[in-house]
Each structure stands twice: as structure tokens, then as C-alpha cells.
Structure 1
Amino acid sequence: MRIVPFTEMLNHARVHKYAVPALNVSNMETVQAITTAAELENSPLIVQLYHADLDYAGIDYMTALTKVAAKKSTVPISLSLDHGNSYEQAINCIDGGFTGVMIDLSSDDFEENISITKKVVSYAHMRGVSVEAELGKIFDANSDISVRNSGLTDPDMAEEFAKRTNIDALAVSIGTAHGIYSSKPKIDFDLVEKIVNKVNIPIVVHGGSNTPDEDIIEIVRLGVAKINIGTDLVLAYNEGLLEAFSESGKNIPLKTAMGIARDRVIEVARHKIRLLRTFAE
């Protein structure tokens, strides 16, 4: 298969009551790990590259790696920018072969967010590329819970934003956060349900790492179509490397150490994907 836009897979997920995993990568081994996990679980997949990792991983390298993985895969695979913070960055990824981009201007004024997002959508849709945007503020998980829940998404504004921008998916703030929580997250499930029912496009939840399994399952049950996971994969990868070096020392062959790290990511990714397919029809 070739890498594809994520619009169709998210719409399919909405209808068939599951969520598509959007898993962050930064090198060859993480691409191999998550695409293997998706294949084993028979799940569509969005391979994501966080905006701050673009310079390290390289747009061209990540596009090539994902294309190779998709060619060998029997499940749909998309390649998307995660939390793109400018029009120029999104355009560079589109021109570089990404099939999806996220433009995150949620910290900007509402009208400014709409204005720039519309420009990204116009450029992307002319080239068959999907667009996700964000409304509401998703904080770091080490923030106090009162801070984490201070930027929750307003359902009416979400509906207006989706209609005016013509985006393909909307990331919302419902109480999850990025990273490792300083205290158990307080998810506003009523808000999730209101947004899903009010906004007529797929809804995305970020902060899938370190969120309790039962909360992830409930978010999926309420109709969220895409869940982002990054930190848990980083932790799994690093734990694999630590295990490899602690057992064999610094003279361990690089492919052996990286292979152990890759296997740990596969395990975690498969577990997460199973959660997202709990209610799949």
C-alpha cells in the first residue's frame, strides 16, 4: 500500500466504534515498531512526527521510511505532522510527502486560529492531504490538575471552528495532557460526549500516554476517532535500551540493543491499539 490521508480512516472509525492510533516516531526503529504492531492488530495507523523532531528526523527521511513500511503493510497507514506550529511548517511537510498535517494554533486568538488554519486546509486539500487542528489548550501532564483542566474546549466554539475551517479532524481539550501525570487525570466525559455529538467531524484526543486504560476505553466508547500516544512509546524504547546495556554492557551490537528497544515499543503499541478497538464492529 501507499501512505494515505487520514480522513477516510477516521470516518470509518467513527462509524465502526473504534479509534485510530496516532503514534509518535523519531527514527527507523520506532517506525518499524508501530507499523508492525498495527499489522499484528489489523488496525489502521497514523505515523506521527512531533514538530520539534522535524530537524532531527528529517521530513524526507521519515517520508521514505513510512513509505517503505506502508508498501509492506496490509493496513492503511498515514504520515502526519503532530502539533505543527506554523503555516510554513505545515506546508513543508505537505510538500515533503506527508499525507496529513496538524496545525496547532490553539494558543492564538480564535479568529487568528481560524484564519491560518483555513489557509493550511486550502493548500492541503488541493493536494489530497488531511488536516487536523486544535481548539482548547492541552497542557503538560506535570502541571497541577487545576491548570490542566483550565483550557477545556467549548462545544459551541468547536462546532463553529470546524464549520468555518473545513478541517478533517479536531483535537480537543477534555482533561488529558502531554507526558507523565503529576496526579491522576480528571477527564470530563460529559464534555467529550457533548463535543462528539455537536461537531460533525472526527474528534481527536491527545495525551493518550499514562492515561488509565479504563479512561481511554471510555473516551473511545463516547465516539472519539483518533487518540495520540507518544510518551509511553518513548519510555518503552528507553527501557529497552537500558535493559540491553545493563545486561550486555556498552560492547553490545547496536542492532541488538536497538532491536530490544523496538520490541518493547511493539508490546506497548499493541496494548494501546487493543484498547482503541475494544468496541470495534
Structure 2
Amino acid sequence: MPLVSGKVLFEKANEYNFAIGAFNFNNMEFLKAILDAAEEEQAPVFIQTTESAIKYAGIEYLAGMVHAVKDKYSIPFALHLDHGKHVETILLAIRHGYTSVMIDYSDKSYEENLKVTKYVVSICAALGISVEAELGKLVSVEDEVVSREEVLVDPEQAKEFVDRTGIDALAPAIGTAHGAFKFKGEPKLDFERLKKVKELTGIALVLHGASGVYEEYVEKINKYGGDIKGAKGVPDEELKKAVELGINKVNTDTDLRLAFISKLRELMALEKKVIDPRKFLKPAMEEVKNIVKKRIRLYGSQGKAELFRV
């Protein structure tokens, strides 16, 4: 199946009430691991890059790899720009064959966010490219430094935003955070808020900052010389509940990095005579593949590629 528009993925996931994994990649190893895992699970998937990934590798390399292998796979997948902070980057992604973009002006005023998002939609709609946007701020709100109302999405405002912009998907802030050190205590996702946003908008919803930060990877990294003590993520049970309440795309980046680095640190510590990087990179790539498959099953998207062939 060819590379498809994110619109196709969002519509099916919303219609059949499941979530599609959106996995970040910066290089060939991560890209291959993600697509191979999705193929084996027969799951639709978003493969995505951030602006920092583009700065690191170059969009010609990232998009070029995707387009070079797109006909190798039978599953539907979209090439997505994650957290596009600049309209110029959106236009660059479009020119290089991205089929889905996120315009993230959530750190700006509501009116500016609305205005720029609407402009991006006006460009992408005619090209069949999906647009994701965000409302609220992805920061931990467990402590009392900030109130939940200051950073979490307003459901009524979300409805207005969706109606006025025409976006294909919305990432509502409900209490998740980016990175391995998401929470000081237990996560407090606002499920009632999520439920209300879904009821009012009816649109595909996206969960950012949703990595599990699994203890097995954290322990192995620390064992072999790393120092990421205290890292925590979103428990699987919480994520499952979020999907049940209307999340249709789940972003995962940190878990892939932890899986890769944990295996890399282990091998480099134990195989001291090895100088062939492939001896390290291939097992690390397999570890990424394993975590992608685990997350796909958690989202309920395994076997769902069949829905797109009807």
C-alpha cells in the first residue's frame, strides 16, 4: 500500500475507535524498526520527524529514505511533521512529500494559534495533507506551581478552535508531558476533560508525551553507566483508558530512545573488542522494533491495516 495521507488514518481510527501509533525517527535504524514492526503487526502507523530531527539529518535524507522504501510495505502509513513550530518548516515538509503535518502554536496566544493554524489548513487541504494542531500546554501539573486550568485544554474552546480552523486532528493537553522525566509523582490525566473534548468536537484526538518509560530500560541504562534515575512515564492502563475515551493517535519517542540506548549501552559494555558499529546497531534496532510492536498492541491497532483495504 502506498504512502497515504494522514487524513485517511485519522478518519479510520476515529470511526473504529482505536489509536494509531506515531513513532519518531532520526535515522535509518529507527525508520526500519518502526516500519518492519508495523508490517509484522499489520498495523497502520504514522512515522514522524521533528524540526530538530530535520536539523540533525536533513529533510532530504529523512524524506528520501521514506520515499525510497514506501512500496516495500503493505501497510498504510503517513509521513508526519511533528511539532512544526514554523510555517516555513511546514512548507518544506510539503515540498518533500510529507502527507501529514502538525502546526504547533500552542505556546502562542489563542487567537494567533487559531489564525496560523487556519492558514496552514488552507494550504494543506487542497493538497490532501492532514493538519494536526494543539491546544493547552504539555507540562506536568502535579505540583501546585501552576493550576490545571492554566495549562490544560478548555473543551468549549477546543470546539470553537476545531470549527473555525477545519483541522483533521487535535492534540488536547490533558496532563501528559514530554521526555523521560514526565512526572514527580503519579500521572494525573484528566479523563473527564478528554471525554468532554471528544463529545464536543467529534474529531480525531492525539496524545502527546505518552511514552511509558518502562522500568526495564531505565534499569539497564543505569546499570551500564547511564544516569536517568527517577524517570517515569504514563502507565499502560492509563493509556488504554485514554484510547477508549477517544484518543486516535499516540505519539511515542522517548520509549524508542530508551530501548535503543539500553541495548547499545549493554553491548558496548560487554563487547569491548567489537569495532563494527553494525554489531551494536542491529540488536539496538531490534529492541526498538520490539517496543514498537508492544505499543501497537497497546493502542489496539494490530491487524487494523485490513480496514484500509476494503
Return the TM-score normalized by structure 2.
Answer: 0.85
- Per the TM alignment, residue 200 of structure 1 is displaced from its structure 2 partner at its CA by 2.5
**What does residue 40 of structure 2 align with?**
40
Structure 1 runs (4+) deviating above 3 angstroms are 143-150, 278-281
1:125-168: CA deviations, max 9, x gaps?
Answer: 222211101111112x5x75444944110011101101111111
**What does residue 207 of structure 2 align with?**
205
Task: Choose from 218, 238, 241 the match for 1:215.
Answer: 238
User: 2:71 and 2:263 mapped to 1: Cα distance?
Assistant: 27
User: 1:45 and 1:224 mapped to 2: Cα distance?
Assistant: 14
User: 1:264 and 1:129 mapped to 2: Cα distance?
Assistant: 32
User: 1:272 and 1:222 mapped to 2: Cα distance?
Assistant: 18
* Contact 2:106 2:137 survives alignment (8 Å): yes
Q: Give the aligned CA root-mean-square deviation in angstroms.
A: 1.8
**What does residue 231 of structure 1 align with?**
254
In structure 2, the gaps of 5 or more residues are: 212-232
* Contact 1:19 1:225 survives alignment (8 Å): yes
* Contact 2:43 2:301 survives alignment (8 Å): no
Please tell me whether Structure 1 or Structure 2 has the larger radius of gyration of its CA atoms.
Answer: 2
User: 1:66 and 1:183 mapped to 2: Cα distance?
Assistant: 39
**What does residue 248 of structure 1 align with?**
271
- Per the TM alignment, residue 250 of structure 1 is displaced from its structure 2 partner at its CA by 6.0
What amino acid sits opposite 1:255 in the alignment? R
User: 1:270 and 1:250 mapped to 2: Cα distance?
Assistant: 32
- Per the TM alignment, residue 278 of structure 1 is displaced from its structure 2 partner at its CA by 7.4
What amino acid sits opposite 2:208 in the alignment? H
In structure 1, the gaps of 5 or more residues are: none
What amino acid sits opposite 1:200 in the alignment? G
**What does residue 94 of structure 2 align with?**
94
User: 2:190 and 2:57 mapped to 1: Cα distance?
Assistant: 35
**What does residue 183 of structure 1 align with?**
185
Larger mean CA deviation between 151-160 and 239-248 belongs to 239-248
* Contact 1:50 1:84 survives alignment (8 Å): yes
5 Å-filtered alignment, 1:138-157, equals: 138-139=138-139, 145-146=143-144, 147=146, 149=148, 150-157=150-157
User: 2:8 and 2:271 mapped to 1: Cα distance?
Assistant: 46
SS at match of 1:179: coil
Q: Are 2:85 and 1:62 equivalent residues in the alignment? A: no
* Contact 1:148 1:175 survives alignment (8 Å): no
Q: Are 2:71 and 1:71 equivalent residues in the alignment? A: yes
What amino acid sits opposite 2:7 in the alignment? T
User: 2:174 and 2:143 mapped to 1: Cα distance?
Assistant: 12
- Per the TM alignment, residue 68 of structure 1 is displaced from its structure 2 partner at its CA by 3.2
5 Å-filtered alignment, 1:162-177, equals: 162-177=162-177
User: 1:85 and 1:3 mapped to 2: Cα distance?
Assistant: 24
What amino acid sits opposite 1:274 in the alignment? R
Count of aligned pairs between the two proteins:
279
**What does residue 85 of structure 1 align with?**
85
User: 1:250 and 1:62 mapped to 2: Cα distance?
Assistant: 32
**What does residue 280 of structure 2 align with?**
257
What amino acid sits opposite 2:124 in the alignment? A
User: What fraction of aligned residue pairs are identical, expressed as a percent?
Assistant: 38
- Per the TM alignment, residue 185 of structure 1 is displaced from its structure 2 partner at its CA by 1.0
Return the TM-score normalized by structure 1.
Answer: 0.94
SS at match of 2:247: coil
